[in-house]
Amino acid sequence: MSEPMLRVAGLAAGYGRVTVLGGISMEAGRSGNVGLFGPNGHGKTTLLRAVSGLLKPRGGTVRFDGHDITGMSPRAIVDRGLIHVPQGNTLFPDLTIADCLTLGAYAPRARAAEAANRERVLALFPKLGARWRQRVRTLSGGERQMVSIGTALMGDPKLLILDEPTLGLAPKIKDELCKAVFDISRSGVPLIVVEQDVEFLLELTNHLYFINHGQVETEIRPGESLAHSDIMAMYFGH
Ligand SMILES: Nc1ncnc2c1ncn2[C@@H]1O[C@H](COP(=O)(O)OP(=O)(O)OP(=O)(O)O)[C@@H](O)[C@H]1O
Ligand SMILES: [Mg+2]
């Protein structure tokens, strides 16, 4: 079988004296989308940050698109097409939507496709076009999330990581974002998504990792089906 786009093997990471990930393994981008779920504070975000270079791994390897990217800078990893939309709002408040999208296309491989990607982002999120010169600080939470995802798409991702893209959003705007995430997936970009909304995750992904205590406690591979109630049982431990 061919190598998956992303292969994480025995990845260790933590903060100061605290070890969060003792040696976690996963893969993504072979066929379909990958979902990560599990209780709060058990290492999902830490795993994604160690994969995309935002946190230096303490052990293990990350291979992406045929190359070892372990310990590379976030910028070098973005340049290769692995793009991470972090959890929460991490945009610079004084930038306009136009500034953010332009910055998103900074990588050399993204610059060539900048105009086409901008059109694609504005078709996906028409609201961003209507507020083109508006500063991030004046946008709603949902609009900021659209800018974050739009900025990532400007980087022309080969694999896109979304860490809780709908966290804290009201139902109507959440539906809009979920629809956009499906559109991105249908356009051919493989995704890794962390989500608390199990229905959304089951519909979007075909390969799930239940992360508990910094480890993969259960893996549900493509072709293995799982009921909502089984997932709930994992969360609540019965
Ligand atoms: N910058 C940091 N410094 C120190 N400890 C941290 C830091 N970020 C996270 N942690 C700790 O690492 C552990 C794992 O956190 P992480 O954010 O990876 O969990 P998570 O599964 O993404 O949780 P959530 O579902 O709430 O987003 C937690 O105990 C958390 O307190
Ligand atoms: Mg998290």
Tens of each residue's pLDDT in the chain, 238 residues: 678 999 999 999 999 999 999 999 999 998 899 999 999 999 999 999 999 999 999 999 999 999 999 999 999 999 999 999 999 888 999 999 999 999 999 999 999 999 999 999 999 999 999 999 999 999 999 999 999 999 999 999 999 999 999 999 999 999 999 999 999 999 999 999 999 998 899 999 999 999 999 999 999 999 887 788 888 888 777 6
Whole-angstrom Cα distance, residue 132 to residue 112?
21
> Angle at which helices 141-154 and 171-186 pack, to 10 degrees?
10
> Which ligand 1 atom is nearest residue 39's CA?
25
Nearest Cα residue to atom 3 of ligand 1 = 15
Nearest residue by C-alpha to atom 29 in ligand 1 = 41
Among the bound ligands, the one closest to the CA of 211 = 1
Residue nearest to atom 17 of ligand 1 (CA): 45
Give the per-residue pLDDT at 238: 60
Pocket test for ligand 1, best of 11, 18, 197 (most atoms within 8 A of CB): 18
Q: Rounded to the nearest whole angstrom, what is the distance from the C-alpha of residue 14 to the centroid of ligand 1?
A: 9
CATH of 6-236, one of 3.90.1560.10, 3.40.50.1100, 3.40.50.300, 2.40.50.100: 3.40.50.300
- What tokens appear for 2 in the block? 């061919």
Query: Which ligand is nearest to the Cα of residue 40, counting in written order?
Result: 1
- Residue 179, Cβ neighbours under 10 Å: how many? 11
Tell me which residues have their CB closer than 6 angstroms to ligand 1: 15, 18, 20, 40-46, 87
Atom of ligand 1 nearest to the CA of 214: 14
For β-strands 207-212 and 215-220, DSSP reports them as antiparallel
What's the CA-to-centroid distance between 168 and ligand 1, angstroms? Answer: 18
Which residue is listed with tokens 């809780």?
A: 164
**Which tokens go with 87?**
């959890």
| Domain-wise residue ranges, the chain | 6-236
Q: What pLDDT shows up at residue 152? A: 98
Phi, psi at 226, each rounded to 5° = -145, 135
Measured distance CA(171)–CA(195) in Å, rounded: 15
The structure tokens 């973005």 sit at 78
State the Cα–Cα distance between residues 112 and 32, nearest whole angstrom.
Answer: 27
Q: Which ligand is nearest to the CA of 235?
A: 1
- Rounded Cα gap, residues 2 and 19, in angstroms: 32
The residue whose CA has the least distance to atom 13 of ligand 1 is 41
Query: Closest ligand to 13 CA?
Result: 1
pTM: 0.96
Distance in angstroms (rounded) separating the CA atoms of residues 208 and 212: 13
Give the pLDDT of residue 63: 98
